[in-house]
Structure 1
Amino acid sequence: MSGKTRRAALLLWLALPAGADPLAEIVILGEVHDNPHAHLEQAAALETLRPTAVVFEMLTAAQGAKADADRSQIAQAWAASGWQDFDIYAPIFDALGEARIIGAAAPREAVRSVYLEGAAALFGPEAARFGLDQPLPDDQLAARIEVQFAAHCRAMPRDMMGGMVAVQRYRDATFARAALKALETYGPPVAVITGNGHARTDWGIPALIAQAAPEVTTHAIGFVEKQTEMPFDETRLIPPTKREDPCNALTKN
């Protein structure tokens, strides 16, 4: 889509009827992955937003293309992704309308290669655009290592967390690039379905979009089970879901 066409699409989108609240060109909808309430809230947001395209963290580009080409193949594409129970995500797909389905998950082999080759090498020529060619500031790196250490139940050596931070940066940049490409191709608004950790505004998808394309507006909503220090443009509390302590499997070993 050319710049002129993109501007025209944006003006058309802004002329929504009363009651439709245009938030930004790219709206990032965070989630707690296993919480059905998060996905119901995301679905409601999509029904209001009426996006041109929805970018999914969970599907690869090939899986997304399969689901987009034939909506009867959505469940099969989801199963191939190895992601969580499709039933709790089904409301999101029911709310898509005419939105295109975009898969943004990096292939597993690429994610594994980040540990050996680094995020910039795997990402390709646009690495500098998304800041992957530069090390993180020391304070941010330390904070992100602690986040990963806690997320892995403090059961793994802290010195392994640097590689996991690199993977997180790679995945955030991959999702941001997919969202920008969808915006350029289909026009606004574009939605992104992703975990809350990727939706945070300080170093997640919104921050990388701001670096790569500062003219693009974003709005990040975190659907969270309790108050959190993670920054979002908007935070919405959802009822917690019952689950076994995820640390049990790691700490008992």
Structure 2
Amino acid sequence: MNLGTVLTRFLLIAGLSGLMGCSSLNAGGSPGSGNLGPEKNAPQIVEVSTGQAIDFKALTERLAAHSIILLGEFHDNAHHHRARARLIEALGQARKSQEPFQLVVEQLAMGSSVSPNTTGPTEALLAQLKEAGFQDKAWGWPLHEPVFRAALSQGMAVNGGNLVPGQSMKLFQQGESALPEKLQGLLAKASLPAPNLQALDKALVDGHCGQLPDAMLKPMRLVQRATDLSLLVAATEHKATIVIAGNGHVRKDFGIPSLLPALKTSPKLVTVGFLESDPSAKAGQSGGTASDGQAHHGAVYDFIWLTPPAEREDPCKGFQMP
């Protein structure tokens, strides 16, 4: 079995969409455009604790009070990246009189960073990102460009939070003994309750189109948990942090928030799931509105932001495990 191929495919579950690549997106402009432009419609945002729809300003105010803000994504959805860029700019403005937020991203490994002084055209920004380890083809560049530019424009450094290259393979082959030194012993302090563990396992299996062999479930689970822990530890190295990662990483039941017991401190953390509406659904059908999305996914996020879907083929069509 080709473990490298398997682990590459494992990354697909990060957004719980089974997708990593970017197909043609009907996103109102080029996918990497930094010009956000006016919203065609008001954002569909729900505060899960109340079940009430809120506007962009209210969301910004609620998020700004937290020291760690988790923003999810479907990796191939340009709507998600532009929405988060708008949010990052607003959050940066909200802290103008304080130490700025720092950005921690899944797209770079822990220990790497891009300075907030980075400016210039797309090619110059990409060169700086690639020097920090960014894989432009794997992440469908320029999809994430609006996110990075928004952060840099607000004086935020773009910091890596993921496992270093090759670490996932070592974990897959060697188990917890291959954890990085600063993560050693922490996973055991935040074991998942049975229902949460079942939810994670289901996400892993679904992310591989139902074809994941039972024997691979445990090592896949370890890689996912270690990745989440790495992102959390990276986030706590700053006074105030915005974390950019797939929806699977920001889920409260088995993602980054579930690892808070591993820390000595208790940072004030909040999570936003960026989901997709079903254009064919009507109110009352799951995915038709933000309220429908909240009913279907709400327990695992503090807030839900619903956008139009990305145009994509069925990711399971022709999929076969190696």
1:46-89 per-residue CA deviation (whole Å, 9 max, x = no partner) reads: 01111421001001246x42555744553125455323222221
Match of 2:109 in 1: 60
Aligned to 1:166, which of 198, 203, 222?
A: 222
Kindly tell me: are residues 252 and 156 of structure 1, through their superposed partners in 2, closer, same or farther at Cα, counting changes over 3 Å? closer
Alignment of 1:169-208 (within 5 A): 169-181=225-237, 183=238, 187-188=239-240, 190-208=241-259
Alignment of 1:82-101 (within 5 A): 82=135, 83-96=138-151, 97-101=154-158
Do 1:29 and 1:192's aligned partners in 2 also have CA atoms closer than 8 Å? Answer: yes
Do 1:119 and 1:132's aligned partners in 2 also have CA atoms closer than 8 Å? Answer: no
1:108-139 per-residue CA deviation (whole Å, 9 max, x = no partner) reads: 311111112223641325433x3346754444
Q: Does 1:224 align with 2:275?
A: yes
Alignment of 1:78-117 (within 5 A): 78-79=129-130, 80-82=133-135, 83-96=138-151, 97-117=154-174
**SS of equivalent residue, structure 1 residue 56:** strand
Give structure 1 stretches of 5+ with no counterpart. 1-17
Aligned to 1:237, which of 298, 306, 309?
A: 306
| CA shift for structure 1 position 27 | 0.4
Amino acid at match of 1:81: F
**SS of equivalent residue, structure 2 residue 202:** helix
Q: Distance in 1 between matches of 2:243 and 2:176?
A: 21
Do 2:66 and 2:269's aligned partners in 1 also have CA atoms closer than 8 Å? Answer: yes
Q: Distance in 2 between matches of 1:143 and 1:93?
A: 31
| CA shift for structure 1 position 104 | 1.4
| CA shift for structure 1 position 171 | 0.1
**SS of equivalent residue, structure 2 residue 309:** coil
Q: Does 1:123 align with 2:171?
A: no
Amino acid at match of 1:101: V
- Aligned residues with identical type, % of pairs: 27
Q: Distance in 2 between matches of 1:60 and 1:175?
A: 9
Q: Does 1:38 align with 2:80?
A: yes
Match of 1:74 in 2: 125
Do 2:117 and 2:155's aligned partners in 1 also have CA atoms closer than 8 Å? Answer: no
**SS of equivalent residue, structure 1 residue 85:** coil
Match of 2:39 in 1: none
What TM-score does the superposition give when structure 2 sets the normalisation length?
Answer: 0.64
**SS of equivalent residue, structure 2 residue 159:** strand
**SS of equivalent residue, structure 2 residue 147:** helix
Match of 2:26 in 1: none
Give structure 2 stretches of 5+ with no counterpart. 1-56, 93-99, 277-286, 288-292
Q: How many residues align?
A: 229
Q: Distance in 1 between matches of 2:164 and 2:183?
A: 18
